[in-house]
């Protein structure tokens, strides 16, 4: 575990009533790096992200830039630059695309309108489709457009650590590639990324480090290239046999 990690998760456990969905998981995400968490359905990946964001109570310690997040609310974490694109996207369905994006910058409202507009232009530049659809209600967007809007809304918050829960879910192959190239571009712009993906091959390709979660336990971790070469990971998550 690196000392100067941006995010450090130490022995974190999360329970739903009696069931423990995440069991003493420790991981770290370094500044300017992409870290991937892979694992089968129901492994606890989404639960882990929710705990880091503060949406669920957890045990253990979660540190961000050396500060413990455990007593901070979700909004306070957002204000510190921690932004989550959740698995369910949680868009404001009855509001327009433009409103959704503008609200993504709510935590940064004190930076002023000019700053928000600049970020908005950047997001529209990245996703021209959102610019075309800016007056449309978010609830009427196509699945792919919704994913773009969720990512765009997160970017409006100018995250330092962006957590993405299955950003490629339900997208056409071409768009998946686009999403991954955006992720790489964000890293170049200085954003650290914690990525949860079913598309393990692509995720390990773009990331620096990987963690494998199985039924709530961390079973493997290491540099992404090594993980991708690990025969067990290859068999289970990369579908090597089929290649």
Partner 1 sequence: MDLQIFALLAQDGITNGAVYALLALALVLVFAVTRVIWVPSGEFLAYGTLTLAGLQLGKASGIAGMLAVMAVVAALMEVAKAIRQRETRHLARSLAWWAGAPLAIAGTLHLVAPMQPPFVVQILLTLTAVTALGPLFYRIAYQPIAEASVLVLLIVSVALHFALLGLGLWFFGAEGSRTPPFTSASYEWGGIRVSGQSLLVVATSLALIVALALFFNRTLYGRALRATAVNRVGARLAGISPTFAGTLTFTLGALVCAFCGVLIGPITTVYYDSGFLVSLKGFVAAIIGGLASYPIAAAGALLVGLLEAFSSYWASAFKEVIVFTLIIPVLLWRSLTTHHHEDEE
Ligand X SMILES: Nc1ncnc2c1ncn2[C@@H]1O[C@H](COP(=O)(O)OP(=O)(O)OP(=O)(O)O)[C@@H](O)[C@H]1O
- Contact residues toward partner 1 (CB under 8 A) are 53, 55, 71, 73-75, 78-79, 83-84, 86, 88-95, 99, 102-104, 106-109, 139, 153, 157
Map residues 73-92 to x or -, x wherever contact with Mg ion holds by CB under 5 A: --------------x-----
Distance from C-alpha of 64 to C-alpha of 29, rounded to nearest angstrom? 10
User: Residue 177 has which token pair?
Assistant: 């590639």
Q: Is the dihedral of CA 192, 198, 200, 206 positive or negative?
A: negative
Would you say how long the chain is, in residues? 243
Site for ligand X contains 16 (CB under 6 A): yes
Site for Mg ion contains 199 (CB under 5 A): no
Q: What secondary structure letter does DSSP report for 96? A: B
Stretch that binds ligand X, among 36-44, 116-124, 144-152, 171-179 (CB under 6 A): 36-44
Among 6, 9, 12, 21, binds ligand X (CB under 6 A): 21
74 binds, among ligand X, partner 1, Mg ion, none (CB under 5 to 8 A by kind): partner 1
Taking CB atoms within 8 Å and a gap of at least 24, the contacts of 74-82 are: 75/107, 77/53, 78/107, 78/157, 79/107, 80/160, 81/157, 81/158, 81/159, 81/160, 81/161, 82/7, 82/52, 82/53, 82/159, 82/160, 82/161, 82/163
139 binds, among Mg ion, partner 1, ligand X, none (CB under 5 to 8 A by kind): partner 1
Compute the least distance from the CB of residue 41 to ligand X, in Å. 3
Nearer to partner 1, 118 or 232 (CB): 118
Residues lying near ligand X in the complex (CB under 6 A):
16, 19, 21, 39, 41-47, 87
């Amino acid at each position: 575990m690196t000392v100067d990690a941006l995010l450090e998760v130490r022995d974190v456990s999360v329970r739903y009533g009696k069931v423990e969905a995440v069991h003493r998981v420790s991981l770290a995400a370094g500044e300017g790096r992409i870290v991937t968490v892979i694992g089968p359905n129901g492994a606890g990946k989404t639960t882990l992200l929710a705990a880091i964001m503060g949406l669920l109570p957890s045990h253990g310690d979660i540190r961000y830039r050396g500060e413990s997040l455990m007593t901070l609310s979700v909004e306070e974490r957002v204000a510190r630059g921690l932004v989550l694109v959740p698995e369910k996207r949680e868009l404001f369905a009855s509001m327009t695309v433009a409103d959704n994006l503008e609200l993504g910058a709510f935590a940064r409202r004190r930076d002023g309108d000019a700053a928000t507009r600049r970020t908005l232009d950047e997001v529209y530049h990245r996703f021209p489709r959102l610019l075309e659809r800016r007056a449309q209600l978010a609830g009427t967007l196509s699945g792919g457009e919704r994913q773009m809007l969720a990512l765009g809304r997160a970017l409006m918050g100018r995250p330092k650590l962006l957590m993405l829960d299955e950003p490629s879910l339900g997208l056409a192959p071409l768009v998946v590639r686009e999403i991954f190239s955006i992720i790489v571009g964000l890293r170049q712009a200085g954003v650290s990324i914690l990525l949860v993906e079913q598309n393990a091959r692509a995720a390990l390709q773009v990331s620096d480090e990987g963690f494998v979660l199985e039924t709530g336990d961390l079973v493997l971790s290491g540099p992404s290239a090594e993980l991708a070469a690990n025969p067990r990971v290859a068999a289970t998550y990369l579908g090597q046999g089929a290649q």
